[in-house]
Amino acid sequence: MASLTITPGRALTGTLTVPGDKSVTHRAIILTSLAEGESRLSSYCRGEDCLNTMRAFQALGIRIDEQPDALRVHGKGMWGLREADGPIDCGNSGTGTRLLTGLLAGQDFFTILTGDESIRRRPMGRVVKPLREMGAVIAGRKGGELAPLAITGTRLHGIDYTSPVASAQIKSSLLFAGLFAEGIMRFREPRLSRDHTERMFQSFGIPLRQDGGTLVLQGRPSSGWTGRAIVIPGDFSAAAFFLVGASIIPGSDVTIQNVGINPTRTGLIDVLTAMGAKIDVLNRRDEAGEPVADLRVRSAALKGVTVGPELIPQTIDEFPILCVAAAVAEGETTISGAEELRVKESDRIATMSAELKAMGAQITELPDGMVIRGLGQAGKNGRLLGTLAGQSHGDHRVAMSLAIGGLTANTSTAVADTGCVDTSFPNFERTLASLLTA
Ligand code: S3P
């Protein structure tokens, strides 16, 4: 089993790029498979999650040529998918599983969706229940709460749905179902979750509009959309490890190029800035309807901060690494309203608390967050203890967060079971090594 050993004591310096955005890559594969003609997706995320979505569409009859720098997708139009001849395995990907469930519910064929042991534990009822209200026929373990899911494609109808959770996976699952449904689909959520699906629908000319806080989608649009070239921005959630790493390790100065800075994703910049971080957003520009910039980060003394429910959706995937920043900051950090962390690739409140405590951090778990008493002293970041028994719990973001935490430690840190890093950031170890100076 793969593991990662981190030797502390070196600053992070230099310029880097990160993998293409995982969320945008999933959506680009889906929408270009349904487009007419060829599309080229460059700088796509080559993590296993997105490759599983690519393989899913290949199994559904779409030709996709995989090259290291680009995917060539030969779309067959909105109604061009065909039945796969076996179960589709989404691996570790909640996004892949939930988005495909919505999309496949409205086809005229049968599909079985499954995934790894973590996916088979994660809640699927949050999409299955509203999809059934749209007429979907979906069976699964525990009444459809757990994958594998068996989807008997059928004629759906649009509904008016208010999601109890701010979740882009729920929103996108229902928008993909709504695309194939009769009539109008209306969707509301308690706070705005990442809006990549909406942006991409609009950039392809799919008739989705915003009416106050409600998304309104015309199902079965009269005309389809055409394939094209898409440049995927760098993944902010991958950049996040270096934003924190360079902030907490004295003497660091790092520039991350071509990072997506969609405001529904960049809560970590606001939180770190409030903690005292030095982050410059440079060369702002737009790519395929998504804002992009270069991010320069220099080490700084961090202090504790309060993160409440209003900041959760735009920071959701960055809590594992934010915990590392809070653990070495001066003073207390309180995170609340973040109960969604309990149903991610691992229960991230439990796994990060346990792992960082083993490295000397002072953390109290709350049902919906945590209180972290930072180890820093006035004007200085503190240091963790190293550990030779760090565990990823099969969660890529936990693995990378512990590796960054290890850079601040007194002794070496070994993180076990780091194969999961490949789900989103296959070159993480090499990228990190390239920034570590003597
Ligand atoms: C994602 C949505 C978020 C996020 C996940 C990716 C997406 O999940 O945590 O990593 O691409 O739609 P939720 O919708 O469960 O919040």
Give pLDDT tens digits for 390-423. 999 999 999 999 999 999 999 999 999 999 999 9
**What separation in Å is there between the alpha carbon of 168 and the centre of ligand 1?**
5
Q: Which domain range does residue 414 map to?
A: 3-20+233-435
How would you classify residue 122: left for phi > 0, otherwise alpha for psi between -120 and 50, otherwise beta?
Answer: beta
Count CA atoms within 13 Å of residue 23 on its CB side.
25
Do both 315 and 411 map to the same domain? yes
Indicate the residue among 230, 264, 288 that finishes a domain: 230
Do both 303 and 367 map to the same domain? yes
Do both 127 and 166 map to the same domain? yes
Cα(58)–Cα(123) distance, integer angstroms: 26
Do both 331 and 423 map to the same domain? yes
> Residues 232, 24: contact at Cβ < 8 Å?
yes
Question: Which residue CA neighbors atom 15 of ligand 1 most closely?
Answer: 167
- Site to probe by mutation for ligand 1, drawn from 45, 53, 176, 193 as the one with most ligand atoms within 8 Å of Cβ, is 193
> Which residues partner with 5 through β-bridges?
414
Do both 44 and 13 map to the same domain? no
Q: Please state the φ and ψ torsions of residue 75, each to the nearest 5 degrees.
A: -65, 150
Indicate the residue among 208, 230, 252 that finishes a domain: 230
Do both 168 and 132 map to the same domain? yes
Do both 26 and 143 map to the same domain? yes
The domain that contains 289 carries what CATH number? Answer: 3.65.10.10
pLDDT surpassing 80 at residue 438: no
DSSP string, 201-267: HHHHT--EEEETTEEEEESS-SS--B--EEEPPB-HHHHHHHHHHHHHSTT-EEEEEEEE--TTT-H
Give the chain's mean pLDDT: 97
Give the pLDDT confidence score for residue 437 in this predicted structure: 75
Enter the pTM of the model: 0.98
Do both 142 and 196 map to the same domain? yes
**What separation in Å is there between the alpha carbon of 95 and the centre of ligand 1?**
6
Do both 191 and 240 map to the same domain? no
Q: How confident is the model at residue 123 (pLDDT cuts 50, 70, 90)?
A: very high
Torsion angle of C-alpha atoms 148, 152, 158, 162, degrees rounded to 10 = -20
Indicate the residue among 172, 204, 230 that finishes a domain: 230
Verify whether residue 422 is a known catalytic residue.
no
Nearest to 237 by CA among 20, 403, 417, 79: 20
Residues with CB under 6 A from ligand 1: 23, 95, 167-169, 172, 193-194, 316-317, 340
pLDDT tens digits, 1-41: 799 999 999 999 999 999 999 999 999 999 999 999 999 99
Count CA atoms within 13 Å of residue 82 on its CB side.
6
Q: Tally helices (H) and strands (E) across the chain.
A: 13, 23
Q: 116, 195, 235, 317: which is the annotated catalytic residue? A: 317
Instruction: Please tell me the total count of domains within the chain.
Output: 2
Do both 180 and 256 map to the same domain? no
Do both 101 and 191 map to the same domain? yes
pLDDT tens digits, 294-347: 999 999 999 999 999 999 999 999 999 999 999 999 999 999 999 999 999 999
Its sign, for the CA torsion 217, 24, 148, 396, is: negative
Do both 215 and 338 map to the same domain? no
**Distances, alpha carbon 131 to alpha carbons 114, 232, 268, 274, 434, in Å:** 17, 29, 32, 40, 46
